[in-house]
Amino acid sequence: NAGVTQTPKFQVLKTGQSMTLQCAQDMNHNSMYWYRQDPGMGLRLIYYSASEGTTDKGEVPNGYNVSRLNKREFSLRLESAAPSQTSVYFCASSQTRGLNTGELFFGEGSRLTVL
């Protein structure tokens, strides 16, 4: 099992450009997430998808859109990149049981720089 895979690993954009980060998981998990990691700020939730066909905003959704393409895949799109979106992005998945979320399994991360 590959777990959670995300692409690309590195990307440099100019302000105003768009791009999509791709994520796929092979653990048959219901829930998928996109986090950003900035120095001194931990991990902050951008968007999540509790199940196939649903997506919801997290803590810092502005400037992003997502698509839950199927149970395996969850993409993150920056329509018009800004320097404030320079960050490391992590995709994650988990298996929710009842009312409780389980362990988060993270991808390797995507380092995005916006000039």
Partner 1 sequence: GENVEQHPSTLSVQEGDSAVIKCTYSDSASNYFPWYKQELGKRPQLIIDIRSNVGEKKDQRIAVTLNKTAKHFSLHITETQPEDSAVYFCAASRGREDDMRFGAGTRLTVKP
Which CB sits closer to partner 1, 17 or 88? 88
Which CB sits closer to partner 1, 17 or 101? 101
Which CB sits closer to partner 1, 35 or 78? 35
Closest separation in Å from C-beta 55 to partner 1 = 11
Interior/surface letters 80-92, b for 16+ CB within 10 angstroms, e for the rest:
ebeeebbbebbbb
Tell me how many degrees the CA angle 103-27-36 measures, rounded to the nearest 5: 55
Question: Which region holds residue 83: left if phi is over 0, alpha if psi is between -120 and 50, else beta?
Answer: alpha
Closest separation in Å from C-beta 103 to partner 1 = 5
Say which amino acid occupies 32.
M
The site for partner 1 (CB under 8 A) is made up of: 31, 33, 40-45, 48, 50, 56, 58-59, 90, 94, 96, 99-101, 103-104, 106-109
Which CB sits closer to partner 1, 20 or 37? 37
Q: What is the distance of C-alpha 112 from the center of its chain?
A: 12
Closest separation in Å from C-beta 39 to partner 1 = 9
